[in-house]
Amino acid sequence: MTKYTQKFKLDLIQEYLDAGCSLRQIESKYSLPKDTLKKWWAVYNLKGPEGLKLRHSKRNFTVDFKLHVINYYLNNDISMSKVAASHNLLPSQISIWLNLFMRHGLEALKSKKKGRPSKMSKSSKKSARKILKKESDEIKALKRELRQVKMERDILKKSLTLFGSSRPKTKR
């Protein structure tokens, strides 16, 4: 959630235009951080009221756009905050992109997958499922065989108790 609404920002800019006082005076009157109103004013001058709209979704930037912004900043004698205002970005974002580009090159500007990487690839998951199915079938077969062997054992035990042992008893 953002701290200031678009209406609040526009009201302060309108007050700046109407009252004739400085940006610093309005910032101190409303207890705003230093240069906040200055940034809003720069965005308002470049983009109009639409530039002060709140963003409700995460934005994804292509490598080409990031490279364009970095080139624009490096080739023109403009401050990072003005470049940010003209491209509707935060100056810190441009600074991050610039540092990544300077340290690691173009590859660092590419988007990376979010989240924890999977321990198994999709192909190994499929083979694991096949192995699991094969093993479960084998377990079922072994359980059937075990049941059969137990029944045979029980039959032999009963026959021994009913008919006695097949060996003749020797007297000593």
Residues spanned by the domain of 86: 63-109
Q: For residue 36, is pLDDT > 80? A: yes
pLDDT above 90 coverage of the chain, percent: 28
In this predicted model, what pLDDT tens digit does every residue of 92-145 receive, in sequence order? Answer: 999 999 999 999 988 888 888 888 877 777 777 788 888 899 999 999 999 999
Both 46 and 26 in a single domain?
yes
DSSP H helices, 6-121, are: 6-19, 23-29, 36-47, 63-75, 80-86, 91-104
149 in a structural domain: yes
The domain tally of the chain equals 3
In a domain, 122, yes or no: no
- pLDDT of 1: 42
Q: Which residues contact 53 (CB under 8 A, 6 or more apart)?
A: 6
47 Cβ contact partners less than 8 Å away, ≥ 6 residues apart: 85, 88
Tokens 């991050």 map to which residue? 96
- What pLDDT score was predicted for residue 169? 66
Inside any domain, residue 169: no
